[in-house]
Structure 1
Protein backbone atom coordinates (compact mmCIF):
# COMPACT_ATOMS: atom_id res chain seq x y z
CA UNK A 1 0.00 0.00 0.00
CA UNK A 2 2.81 2.38 0.87
CA UNK A 3 4.56 1.57 -2.41
CA UNK A 4 1.39 2.39 -4.37
CA UNK A 5 1.15 5.76 -2.65
CA UNK A 6 4.81 6.53 -3.40
CA UNK A 7 4.32 5.53 -7.03
CA UNK A 8 1.24 7.74 -7.32
CA UNK A 9 3.07 10.72 -5.85
CA UNK A 10 6.14 10.16 -8.03
CA UNK A 11 4.14 9.97 -11.25
CA UNK A 12 3.68 13.22 -13.14
CA UNK A 13 -0.01 13.99 -13.47
CA UNK A 14 -1.18 16.18 -16.28
CA UNK A 15 -4.20 18.19 -15.21
CA UNK A 16 -6.98 18.25 -17.78
CA UNK A 17 -8.70 21.64 -18.05
CA UNK A 18 -12.46 21.81 -18.13
CA UNK A 19 -13.90 21.27 -21.58
CA UNK A 20 -14.19 24.64 -23.30
CA UNK A 21 -15.93 25.73 -26.46
CA UNK A 22 -19.62 25.17 -27.07
CA UNK A 23 -20.16 23.30 -23.79
CA UNK A 24 -18.70 26.17 -21.78
CA UNK A 25 -20.75 28.64 -23.84
CA UNK A 26 -23.87 26.69 -22.91
CA UNK A 27 -22.86 26.65 -19.25
CA UNK A 28 -22.33 30.40 -18.97
CA UNK A 29 -25.50 31.19 -20.93
CA UNK A 30 -27.52 28.81 -18.77
CA UNK A 31 -26.13 30.32 -15.55
CA UNK A 32 -26.93 33.83 -16.78
CA UNK A 33 -30.44 32.77 -17.90
CA UNK A 34 -31.07 31.20 -14.47
CA UNK A 35 -29.92 34.41 -12.79
CA UNK A 36 -32.29 36.50 -14.91
CA UNK A 37 -35.22 34.15 -14.21
CA UNK A 38 -34.58 34.12 -10.45
CA UNK A 39 -34.16 37.91 -10.35
CA UNK A 40 -37.38 38.30 -12.35
CA UNK A 41 -39.31 36.13 -9.89
CA UNK A 42 -37.88 38.13 -6.97
CA UNK A 43 -38.95 41.38 -8.65
CA UNK A 44 -42.45 39.97 -9.30
CA UNK A 45 -42.74 39.02 -5.63
CA UNK A 46 -41.61 42.53 -4.67
CA UNK A 47 -44.20 44.04 -7.03
CA UNK A 48 -46.96 41.90 -5.49
CA UNK A 49 -45.91 43.02 -2.01
CA UNK A 50 -45.96 46.67 -3.12
CA UNK A 51 -49.45 46.22 -4.56
CA UNK A 52 -50.72 44.68 -1.32
CA UNK A 53 -49.42 47.60 0.73
CA UNK A 54 -50.36 50.34 -1.78
CA UNK A 55 -52.91 53.06 -0.94
CA UNK A 56 -56.49 51.75 -1.16
CA UNK A 57 -57.50 53.21 -4.53
CA UNK A 58 -54.30 52.13 -6.25
CA UNK A 59 -54.44 48.66 -4.67
CA UNK A 60 -58.08 48.21 -5.74
CA UNK A 61 -57.21 49.15 -9.33
CA UNK A 62 -54.20 46.81 -9.55
CA UNK A 63 -55.50 43.76 -7.67
CA UNK A 64 -58.23 43.06 -10.23
CA UNK A 65 -55.64 42.70 -13.03
CA UNK A 66 -53.74 39.51 -13.88
CA UNK A 67 -49.96 39.51 -13.48
CA UNK A 68 -48.99 40.56 -17.04
CA UNK A 69 -51.55 43.36 -16.93
CA UNK A 70 -50.29 44.46 -13.50
CA UNK A 71 -46.73 44.64 -14.81
CA UNK A 72 -47.83 46.64 -17.86
CA UNK A 73 -50.01 49.00 -15.83
CA UNK A 74 -47.37 49.55 -13.14
CA UNK A 75 -44.60 50.11 -15.69
CA UNK A 76 -46.70 52.90 -17.18
CA UNK A 77 -47.79 54.60 -13.95
CA UNK A 78 -47.11 58.34 -13.84
CA UNK A 79 -46.50 60.55 -10.86
CA UNK A 80 -48.95 63.36 -10.10
CA UNK A 81 -47.90 66.23 -7.85
CA UNK A 82 -51.40 66.48 -6.35
CA UNK A 83 -51.01 63.08 -4.66
CA UNK A 84 -49.57 62.53 -1.19
CA UNK A 85 -45.88 61.74 -0.82
CA UNK A 86 -46.73 58.16 0.15
CA UNK A 87 -48.88 57.70 -2.95
CA UNK A 88 -46.27 59.26 -5.26
CA UNK A 89 -43.43 57.17 -3.84
CA UNK A 90 -45.53 54.01 -4.06
CA UNK A 91 -46.17 54.79 -7.73
CA UNK A 92 -42.43 55.36 -8.20
CA UNK A 93 -41.61 52.02 -6.54
CA UNK A 94 -44.27 50.15 -8.53
CA UNK A 95 -43.09 51.65 -11.82
CA UNK A 96 -39.42 50.94 -11.13
CA UNK A 97 -40.10 47.37 -10.04
CA UNK A 98 -42.38 46.63 -13.00
CA UNK A 99 -39.80 48.02 -15.42
CA UNK A 100 -37.16 45.79 -13.78
CA UNK A 101 -39.44 42.76 -14.26
CA UNK A 102 -39.88 43.62 -17.94
CA UNK A 103 -36.15 44.09 -18.44
CA UNK A 104 -35.30 40.79 -16.75
CA UNK A 105 -37.96 38.90 -18.70
CA UNK A 106 -36.64 40.34 -21.96
CA UNK A 107 -33.09 39.39 -20.96
CA UNK A 108 -34.19 35.82 -20.17
CA UNK A 109 -35.94 35.48 -23.55
CA UNK A 110 -32.89 36.78 -25.41
CA UNK A 111 -30.59 34.41 -23.52
CA UNK A 112 -32.91 31.49 -24.28
CA UNK A 113 -32.67 32.31 -28.00
CA UNK A 114 -28.87 32.30 -27.78
CA UNK A 115 -28.96 29.03 -25.86
CA UNK A 116 -31.16 27.54 -28.58
CA UNK A 117 -28.62 28.52 -31.25
CA UNK A 118 -25.76 26.86 -29.36
CA UNK A 119 -27.82 23.70 -28.69
CA UNK A 120 -28.70 23.48 -32.39
CA UNK A 121 -24.98 23.47 -33.18
CA UNK A 122 -23.84 21.13 -30.40
CA UNK A 123 -26.70 18.67 -29.87
CA UNK A 124 -29.63 19.22 -32.26
CA UNK A 125 -30.86 15.67 -31.67
CA UNK A 126 -31.83 16.60 -28.11
CA UNK A 127 -34.32 19.15 -29.40
CA UNK A 128 -36.09 16.42 -31.35
CA UNK A 129 -37.01 14.58 -28.15
CA UNK A 130 -40.57 15.06 -26.91
CA UNK A 131 -40.72 17.66 -24.15
CA UNK A 132 -37.10 18.78 -24.48
CA UNK A 133 -36.60 22.48 -25.09
CA UNK A 134 -33.43 24.53 -25.20
CA UNK A 135 -33.03 24.85 -21.43
CA UNK A 136 -33.39 21.12 -20.75
CA UNK A 137 -31.19 20.30 -23.74
CA UNK A 138 -28.51 22.59 -22.34
CA UNK A 139 -28.57 21.03 -18.89
CA UNK A 140 -27.66 17.58 -20.24
CA UNK A 141 -24.21 18.37 -21.73
CA UNK A 142 -23.44 20.95 -19.03
CA UNK A 143 -24.07 18.54 -16.14
Structure 2
Protein backbone atom coordinates (compact mmCIF):
# COMPACT_ATOMS: atom_id res chain seq x y z
CA UNK A 1 0.00 0.00 0.00
CA UNK A 2 1.28 3.51 -0.89
CA UNK A 3 0.00 6.80 0.58
CA UNK A 4 -0.59 10.04 -1.32
CA UNK A 5 2.97 11.23 -0.71
CA UNK A 6 4.32 8.14 -2.48
CA UNK A 7 5.70 6.52 0.67
CA UNK A 8 4.87 2.87 1.19
CA UNK A 9 2.85 2.28 4.32
CA UNK A 10 3.64 -0.47 6.82
CA UNK A 11 1.31 -3.44 6.46
CA UNK A 12 3.34 -6.18 8.11
CA UNK A 13 5.99 -6.07 10.81
CA UNK A 14 8.68 -8.70 11.12
CA UNK A 15 10.60 -8.80 14.38
CA UNK A 16 13.97 -10.27 15.26
CA UNK A 17 14.84 -10.76 18.93
CA UNK A 18 18.24 -11.33 20.53
CA UNK A 19 17.61 -12.98 23.89
CA UNK A 20 19.58 -12.83 27.15
CA UNK A 21 19.02 -13.68 30.81
CA UNK A 22 17.71 -10.28 31.94
CA UNK A 23 17.15 -8.28 28.75
CA UNK A 24 15.84 -8.98 25.25
CA UNK A 25 16.57 -6.66 22.32
CA UNK A 26 14.12 -6.50 19.40
CA UNK A 27 14.42 -4.95 15.95
CA UNK A 28 11.35 -4.43 13.75
CA UNK A 29 11.35 -4.39 9.92
CA UNK A 30 8.50 -3.60 7.56
CA UNK A 31 7.48 -5.79 4.63
CA UNK A 32 10.07 -4.03 2.44
CA UNK A 33 12.97 -4.67 4.81
CA UNK A 34 13.16 -1.13 6.18
CA UNK A 35 14.28 -0.88 9.78
CA UNK A 36 11.49 0.64 11.82
CA UNK A 37 12.66 0.70 15.43
CA UNK A 38 14.72 -0.96 18.17
CA UNK A 39 13.39 -1.88 21.61
CA UNK A 40 15.00 -3.31 24.74
CA UNK A 41 12.74 -5.09 27.23
CA UNK A 42 13.13 -6.89 30.53
CA UNK A 43 12.55 -10.65 30.66
CA UNK A 44 9.36 -10.30 32.70
CA UNK A 45 5.67 -10.55 31.98
CA UNK A 46 5.52 -6.76 31.79
CA UNK A 47 8.39 -6.73 29.29
CA UNK A 48 6.67 -9.31 27.10
CA UNK A 49 3.44 -7.29 27.04
CA UNK A 50 5.39 -4.13 26.26
CA UNK A 51 7.04 -5.82 23.27
CA UNK A 52 3.72 -6.85 21.74
CA UNK A 53 2.20 -3.40 22.30
CA UNK A 54 5.26 -1.84 20.63
CA UNK A 55 4.97 -4.09 17.58
CA UNK A 56 1.23 -3.46 17.20
CA UNK A 57 1.86 0.28 17.34
CA UNK A 58 4.20 -0.08 14.34
CA UNK A 59 1.84 -2.21 12.23
CA UNK A 60 0.37 -5.68 11.98
CA UNK A 61 2.61 -8.32 13.59
CA UNK A 62 3.54 -10.90 10.97
CA UNK A 63 6.28 -13.12 12.36
CA UNK A 64 8.76 -13.17 15.22
CA UNK A 65 12.25 -14.64 14.88
CA UNK A 66 13.67 -15.51 18.30
CA UNK A 67 17.15 -16.74 19.14
CA UNK A 68 17.29 -19.43 21.82
CA UNK A 69 13.62 -20.38 22.00
CA UNK A 70 14.59 -23.33 24.22
CA UNK A 71 16.75 -21.30 26.61
CA UNK A 72 16.73 -17.55 27.29
CA UNK A 73 13.84 -17.01 24.89
CA UNK A 74 11.62 -19.81 26.22
CA UNK A 75 9.39 -17.55 28.33
CA UNK A 76 8.93 -14.99 25.57
CA UNK A 77 8.21 -17.73 23.01
CA UNK A 78 5.45 -19.20 25.20
CA UNK A 79 3.90 -15.77 25.71
CA UNK A 80 3.89 -14.90 22.00
CA UNK A 81 2.43 -18.28 21.03
CA UNK A 82 -0.35 -17.87 23.60
CA UNK A 83 -1.15 -14.54 21.95
CA UNK A 84 -1.53 -16.26 18.58
CA UNK A 85 1.75 -14.95 17.14
CA UNK A 86 3.82 -16.85 14.57
CA UNK A 87 7.18 -17.59 16.23
CA UNK A 88 10.17 -19.21 14.52
CA UNK A 89 13.56 -20.09 15.92
CA UNK A 90 16.49 -18.28 14.33
CA UNK A 91 20.07 -19.54 14.48
CA UNK A 92 22.56 -17.06 15.86
CA UNK A 93 24.59 -15.21 13.20
CA UNK A 94 27.79 -16.81 11.96
CA UNK A 95 31.12 -15.00 12.16
CA UNK A 96 30.96 -14.32 8.46
CA UNK A 97 27.52 -12.72 8.82
CA UNK A 98 28.76 -10.60 11.72
CA UNK A 99 31.74 -9.39 9.70
CA UNK A 100 29.43 -8.29 6.90
CA UNK A 101 27.20 -6.55 9.45
CA UNK A 102 30.17 -4.55 10.74
CA UNK A 103 30.52 -6.08 14.19
CA UNK A 104 28.44 -7.48 16.98
CA UNK A 105 26.04 -6.09 19.53
CA UNK A 106 22.54 -6.98 20.62
CA UNK A 107 20.83 -4.68 18.10
CA UNK A 108 22.92 -6.01 15.21
CA UNK A 109 22.13 -9.61 16.18
CA UNK A 110 18.43 -8.81 16.52
CA UNK A 111 18.40 -7.16 13.08
CA UNK A 112 20.17 -10.19 11.60
CA UNK A 113 17.44 -12.38 13.12
CA UNK A 114 14.74 -10.16 11.62
CA UNK A 115 16.33 -10.31 8.17
CA UNK A 116 16.64 -14.09 8.44
CA UNK A 117 12.88 -14.18 9.10
CA UNK A 118 12.25 -11.99 6.09
CA UNK A 119 14.47 -14.10 3.83
CA UNK A 120 13.07 -17.37 5.20
CA UNK A 121 16.55 -18.79 5.90
CA UNK A 122 18.24 -20.49 8.89
CA UNK A 123 15.06 -20.82 10.90
CA UNK A 124 12.55 -23.42 11.98
CA UNK A 125 9.26 -23.50 13.83
CA UNK A 126 9.87 -23.22 17.56
CA UNK A 127 9.02 -25.98 20.01
CA UNK A 128 5.85 -25.19 21.93
CA UNK A 129 7.35 -26.25 25.30
CA UNK A 130 3.95 -26.33 26.97
CA UNK A 131 3.07 -30.01 27.32
CA UNK A 132 4.18 -33.34 28.80
CA UNK A 133 7.39 -33.45 26.73
CA UNK A 134 8.62 -30.22 28.28
CA UNK A 135 7.80 -31.72 31.68
CA UNK A 136 9.89 -34.77 30.76
CA UNK A 137 12.79 -32.56 29.68
CA UNK A 138 12.74 -30.67 32.98
CA UNK A 139 12.55 -33.85 35.07
CA UNK A 140 15.37 -35.46 33.09
CA UNK A 141 17.61 -32.50 33.93
CA UNK A 142 17.04 -33.15 37.63
CA UNK A 143 17.49 -36.91 37.15
CA UNK A 144 20.78 -36.47 35.28
CA UNK A 145 22.29 -34.34 38.04
CA UNK A 146 21.04 -36.79 40.69
CA UNK A 147 22.63 -39.69 38.81
CA UNK A 148 25.96 -37.88 38.66
CA UNK A 149 25.80 -37.04 42.36
CA UNK A 150 24.93 -40.66 43.25
CA UNK A 151 27.87 -41.96 41.22
CA UNK A 152 30.15 -39.49 42.95
CA UNK A 153 28.89 -40.60 46.36
CA UNK A 154 29.53 -44.27 45.44
CA UNK A 155 33.06 -43.49 44.29
CA UNK A 156 33.77 -41.58 47.49
CA UNK A 157 32.44 -44.47 49.57
CA UNK A 158 34.96 -46.81 47.99
CA UNK A 159 37.72 -44.21 48.37
CA UNK A 160 37.07 -43.87 52.12
CA UNK A 161 37.15 -47.66 52.51
CA UNK A 162 40.54 -47.81 50.78
CA UNK A 163 42.11 -45.38 53.27
CA UNK A 164 40.19 -46.53 56.38
CA UNK A 165 41.96 -48.20 59.34
CA UNK A 166 42.88 -51.80 58.57
CA UNK A 167 40.24 -53.48 60.75
CA UNK A 168 37.42 -51.42 59.26
CA UNK A 169 38.83 -51.82 55.77
CA UNK A 170 38.98 -55.63 56.08
CA UNK A 171 35.37 -55.63 57.24
CA UNK A 172 34.06 -53.54 54.30
CA UNK A 173 36.32 -54.13 51.31
CA UNK A 174 34.61 -57.32 50.09
CA UNK A 175 31.07 -55.91 50.19
CA UNK A 176 29.07 -55.07 47.10
CA UNK A 177 27.97 -51.46 46.70
CA UNK A 178 24.43 -52.18 47.95
CA UNK A 179 25.72 -54.00 51.04
CA UNK A 180 28.35 -51.33 51.65
CA UNK A 181 25.70 -48.59 51.61
CA UNK A 182 23.39 -50.57 53.93
CA UNK A 183 26.24 -51.35 56.36
CA UNK A 184 27.61 -47.82 56.42
CA UNK A 185 24.13 -46.36 56.95
CA UNK A 186 23.84 -48.38 60.21
CA UNK A 187 27.07 -47.00 61.73
CA UNK A 188 26.76 -45.10 65.03
CA UNK A 189 30.11 -43.32 65.33
CA UNK A 190 29.06 -40.85 68.06
CA UNK A 191 31.60 -38.15 68.90
CA UNK A 192 34.64 -38.52 66.67
CA UNK A 193 37.77 -39.14 68.74
CA UNK A 194 39.61 -41.69 66.59
CA UNK A 195 40.49 -42.20 62.95
CA UNK A 196 38.09 -45.14 62.77
CA UNK A 197 35.28 -42.97 64.16
CA UNK A 198 35.99 -40.30 61.52
CA UNK A 199 35.93 -42.93 58.76
CA UNK A 200 32.63 -44.35 60.04
CA UNK A 201 31.03 -40.90 60.19
CA UNK A 202 32.19 -40.12 56.64
CA UNK A 203 30.89 -43.46 55.38
CA UNK A 204 27.56 -42.99 57.15
CA UNK A 205 27.16 -39.52 55.64
CA UNK A 206 27.98 -40.74 52.12
CA UNK A 207 25.69 -43.76 52.49
CA UNK A 208 22.78 -41.56 53.60
CA UNK A 209 23.42 -39.27 50.64
CA UNK A 210 23.48 -42.25 48.27
CA UNK A 211 20.18 -43.58 49.64
CA UNK A 212 18.51 -40.18 49.42
CA UNK A 213 19.64 -39.72 45.82
CA UNK A 214 18.45 -43.24 44.94
CA UNK A 215 14.98 -42.41 46.29
CA UNK A 216 14.98 -39.13 44.38
CA UNK A 217 15.92 -40.89 41.12
CA UNK A 218 13.21 -43.52 41.66
CA UNK A 219 10.55 -40.83 42.21
CA UNK A 220 11.66 -38.96 39.08
CA UNK A 221 11.64 -42.18 37.04
CA UNK A 222 8.05 -42.86 38.02
CA UNK A 223 6.95 -39.40 36.88
CA UNK A 224 8.94 -39.61 33.62
CA UNK A 225 7.46 -43.04 32.88
CA UNK A 226 3.92 -41.74 33.41
CA UNK A 227 4.49 -38.69 31.21
CA UNK A 228 6.17 -40.74 28.46
CA UNK A 229 3.15 -43.09 28.28
CA UNK A 230 0.90 -40.03 28.19
CA UNK A 231 2.88 -38.27 25.44
CA UNK A 232 3.55 -41.26 23.15
CA UNK A 233 1.67 -44.43 24.11
CA UNK A 234 2.27 -45.99 20.68
CA UNK A 235 6.02 -45.47 20.93
CA UNK A 236 6.13 -47.17 24.31
CA UNK A 237 4.51 -50.26 22.79
CA UNK A 238 7.40 -50.85 20.37
CA UNK A 239 9.78 -53.50 21.65
CA UNK A 240 13.05 -52.00 22.82
CA UNK A 241 11.75 -48.45 23.23
CA UNK A 242 12.08 -48.09 26.99
CA UNK A 243 11.39 -44.98 29.01
CA UNK A 244 14.91 -43.54 28.66
CA UNK A 245 15.01 -44.08 24.89
CA UNK A 246 11.49 -42.77 24.33
CA UNK A 247 12.07 -39.74 26.57
CA UNK A 248 15.23 -38.78 24.66
CA UNK A 249 13.42 -38.95 21.30
CA UNK A 250 10.38 -37.09 22.63
CA UNK A 251 12.53 -34.27 24.00
CA UNK A 252 14.29 -33.98 20.64
CA UNK A 253 10.95 -33.76 18.81
CA UNK A 254 9.21 -31.46 21.31
CA UNK A 255 5.55 -31.10 22.25
CA UNK A 256 4.63 -30.16 18.68
CA UNK A 257 6.42 -32.77 16.52
CA UNK A 258 4.23 -31.94 13.53
CA UNK A 259 6.44 -28.88 13.06
CA UNK A 260 8.96 -31.35 11.58
CA UNK A 261 8.36 -31.54 7.85
CA UNK A 262 9.50 -35.11 7.30
CA UNK A 263 11.18 -38.13 8.83
CA UNK A 264 14.44 -36.90 7.29
CA UNK A 265 14.26 -33.70 9.32
CA UNK A 266 13.74 -35.71 12.51
CA UNK A 267 16.69 -37.96 11.63
CA UNK A 268 18.82 -34.86 11.09
CA UNK A 269 17.69 -33.51 14.45
CA UNK A 270 18.79 -36.76 16.09
CA UNK A 271 22.17 -36.70 14.33
CA UNK A 272 21.51 -39.91 12.35
CA UNK A 273 21.00 -38.47 8.87
CA UNK A 274 23.65 -39.70 6.40
CA UNK A 275 26.52 -37.27 5.85
CA UNK A 276 28.02 -37.70 2.38
CA UNK A 277 31.80 -38.21 2.38
CA UNK A 278 32.37 -39.39 -1.17
CA UNK A 279 35.28 -38.55 -3.41
CA UNK A 280 36.23 -39.95 -6.79
CA UNK A 281 35.47 -43.66 -6.90
CA UNK A 282 34.79 -43.79 -3.16
CA UNK A 283 31.09 -43.61 -2.31
CA UNK A 284 30.38 -43.56 1.41
CA UNK A 285 28.76 -41.67 4.28
CA UNK A 286 30.46 -40.56 7.48
CA UNK A 287 29.51 -40.09 11.11
CA UNK A 288 27.06 -37.25 11.74
CA UNK A 289 28.28 -35.17 14.69
CA UNK A 290 25.29 -32.83 14.70
CA UNK A 291 21.85 -33.03 16.24
CA UNK A 292 20.77 -34.04 19.73
CA UNK A 293 23.48 -36.20 21.27
CA UNK A 294 21.03 -37.56 23.84
CA UNK A 295 18.70 -38.80 21.11
CA UNK A 296 21.69 -40.10 19.15
CA UNK A 297 22.92 -42.08 22.17
CA UNK A 298 19.43 -43.53 22.74
CA UNK A 299 19.20 -44.69 19.12
CA UNK A 300 22.71 -46.15 19.29
CA UNK A 301 21.85 -48.26 22.35
CA UNK A 302 18.61 -49.33 20.69
CA UNK A 303 20.46 -50.38 17.53
CA UNK A 304 23.06 -52.37 19.50
CA UNK A 305 20.30 -54.15 21.42
CA UNK A 306 18.45 -54.96 18.20
CA UNK A 307 21.58 -56.63 16.81
CA UNK A 308 21.71 -58.87 19.88
CA UNK A 309 18.17 -60.29 19.72
CA UNK A 310 16.29 -59.33 16.53
CA UNK A 311 16.69 -61.87 13.65
CA UNK A 312 15.79 -59.19 11.11
CA UNK A 313 18.54 -56.88 12.38
CA UNK A 314 21.05 -59.74 12.36
CA UNK A 315 20.10 -60.73 8.81
CA UNK A 316 20.40 -57.12 7.70
CA UNK A 317 23.84 -56.81 9.32
CA UNK A 318 25.01 -60.02 7.63
CA UNK A 319 23.83 -58.82 4.23
CA UNK A 320 25.45 -55.41 4.59
CA UNK A 321 28.67 -56.97 5.86
CA UNK A 322 28.79 -59.10 2.73
CA UNK A 323 28.46 -55.89 0.71
CA UNK A 324 31.59 -54.54 2.39
CA UNK A 325 30.01 -52.28 5.03
CA UNK A 326 31.74 -51.90 8.40
CA UNK A 327 29.93 -52.52 11.68
CA UNK A 328 29.91 -48.77 12.42
CA UNK A 329 28.23 -48.06 9.07
CA UNK A 330 25.66 -50.80 9.70
CA UNK A 331 24.83 -49.37 13.13
CA UNK A 332 24.39 -45.92 11.57
CA UNK A 333 21.94 -47.36 9.04
CA UNK A 334 19.97 -49.05 11.82
CA UNK A 335 19.89 -45.82 13.83
CA UNK A 336 18.46 -44.02 10.81
CA UNK A 337 15.77 -46.68 10.39
CA UNK A 338 14.83 -46.64 14.09
CA UNK A 339 14.57 -42.84 14.01
CA UNK A 340 12.08 -43.25 11.17
CA UNK A 341 10.07 -45.72 13.26
CA UNK A 342 10.03 -43.29 16.18
CA UNK A 343 8.98 -40.40 13.96
CA UNK A 344 6.15 -42.50 12.57
CA UNK A 345 4.53 -42.67 16.00
CA UNK A 346 4.65 -38.86 16.30
CA UNK A 347 3.31 -38.12 12.82
CA UNK A 348 0.88 -41.01 12.41
CA UNK A 349 2.88 -42.47 9.50
CA UNK A 350 3.96 -45.57 11.44
CA UNK A 351 6.46 -48.07 10.12
CA UNK A 352 7.07 -51.53 11.50
CA UNK A 353 9.96 -51.52 13.99
State TM-score, norm by structure 2.
Answer: 0.36
Unaligned runs of 5+ in 1: 1-5
Contact 1:40 1:105 in 2 (8 A): yes
1:86: how far off? 1.3
Q: Tell me the distance in 2 between the aligned counterparts of 1:80 and 1:106.
A: 26
Contact 1:30 1:135 in 2 (8 A): no
The residue that corresponds to 2:166 in the other structure is 56
The residue that corresponds to 1:73 in the other structure is 183
1:7: how far off? 3.0
Deviation string 1:45-78 (CA, Å, 9 cap, x unpaired) is 1111011111111111111111100010011111
2:33 pairs with 1:7:
yes
Bigger drift between 72-81 and 32-41 goes to 72-81
Higher relative contact order (CA 8 A, sep 6+): 1
1:128: how far off? 1.5
Which secondary structure state, in structure 2, belongs to the residue aligned with residue 14 of structure 1?
strand
Which secondary structure state, in structure 2, belongs to the residue aligned with residue 132 of structure 1?
coil
Which secondary structure state, in structure 1, belongs to the residue aligned with residue 219 of structure 2?
helix
* C-alpha RMSD of the superposition: 2.1
The residue that corresponds to 1:101 in the other structure is 210
Q: Tell me the distance in 1 between the aligned counterparts of 2:196 and 2:33.
A: 75
Q: Tell me the distance in 2 between the aligned counterparts of 1:46 and 1:54.
A: 12
Q: Tell me the distance in 2 between the aligned counterparts of 1:30 and 1:99.
A: 23
2:164 pairs with 1:114:
no
The residue that corresponds to 1:35 in the other structure is 145
More strand by share: 2
More helix by share: 1
Q: How many residues align?
A: 137
Distance 1:22 1:55, change over 3 A: same
Distance 1:9 1:62, change over 3 A: farther
1:13: how far off? 3.2
The residue that corresponds to 2:13 in the other structure is none
Q: Tell me the distance in 1 between the aligned counterparts of 2:151 and 2:133.
A: 27
Contact 1:26 1:138 in 2 (8 A): yes
Unaligned runs of 5+ in 2: 1-31, 37-60, 66-76, 79-126, 253-353
